[in-house]
Amino acid sequence: MSALDDPTDANLAPSIADAPAGVSDHLIAAGAFSEGERNAVYRAIETRRDVRDQFRSDPLPEDLVRRLLQAAHSAPSVGFMQPWNFILIRQPETRERVWQAFHQANEEACAMFEGDRRAQYQRLKLEGIRKAPLSICITCDTTRGGPVVLGRTHNPATDVYSTVCAVQNLWLAARAEGVGVGWVSIFHEEAIKTILGIPEHVKIVAWLCVGYVDELYDMPELSVKGWRDRLPLDRLIFEECWQDGEEP
């Protein structure tokens, strides 16, 4: 697309010296990465784990945390809404209160499983809130960008989807930094909102436990522990339309 094709930027400048960069000036070459770079991206994707117990206790350097947040902030967002905030929680007292909220919800969760499955559930460690030195609460401000947001007109939940993309960016960057991340989802949202003073119009999307790790599982922990196996990818791919069949 040339600048002349674009009605928003063409011919707005009073002189060449004052001319803003045209839209086409922002298009830059963007081919495939080198094989080594590509492998690094796939390595982050394939070896990323949901960490519950492998956290070291030493604090993360400020510049490293900043890189993780910058990665999160580089996520796609509907209408460039950028609806996220990042609350960094290091105080042990706050993490203890959040752990209590988790613990209560986890007892409720446990009671929903039957028999052997309940016993198996009880043996799983599902969070590292107190062990990891840093927690990051990632929120979504549903009002940011005003009442009508481009791209969000037909599915209001796309603001939360954007925020989840930020979580996944942070998680992959963390893997490359030797930092483990565990996503805790077992709590009543209102309990955590009360602890952190989060207003009504802001949703909690993720509570992340973050800390250095020396070791990770070579496959998802719930698979290692016998809870549930990886599904075969072939059964999840359909051509052209939905295909009914055996449940994967």
What part of residues 205-234 is at the interface with a copy of itself (CB under 8 A)?
205-206, 213-220, 222-231, 233
- Ramachandran region, residue 82 (left: φ > 0; alpha: ψ -120 to 50; beta: rest): left
| Smallest distance from a copy of itself to CB 17, Å | 21
Determine how β-strand 202-212 pairs with β-strand 179-184: antiparallel
Is 96 a residue that touches a copy of itself (CB under 8 A)?
no
Query: For residues 26 and 6, what is the distance between their CA atoms, to the nearest angstrom?
Result: 13
- Shortest distance in whole angstroms from residue 217 CB to a copy of itself: 5
- Contact status: 98 vs a copy of itself (CB under 8 A): no
Cβ atoms of 131 and 57 closer than 8 Å: yes
* 17 or 148: CB nearest a copy of itself: 148
Does residue number 103 form part of the binding site for a copy of itself (CB under 8 A)? no
Q: Report the distance separating Cα 57 and Cα 64, nearest Å.
A: 16
Other C-beta atoms within 10 Å of 229: how many?
Answer: 10
Greatest C-alpha distance within the chain:
77
- In angstroms, what is the minimal distance from the CB of 228 to a copy of itself? 4
Nearest to a copy of itself of 16, 239 (CB atom): 239
Residues 58-77 interacting with a copy of itself (rule: CB under 8 A)? 67, 69-71, 73-76
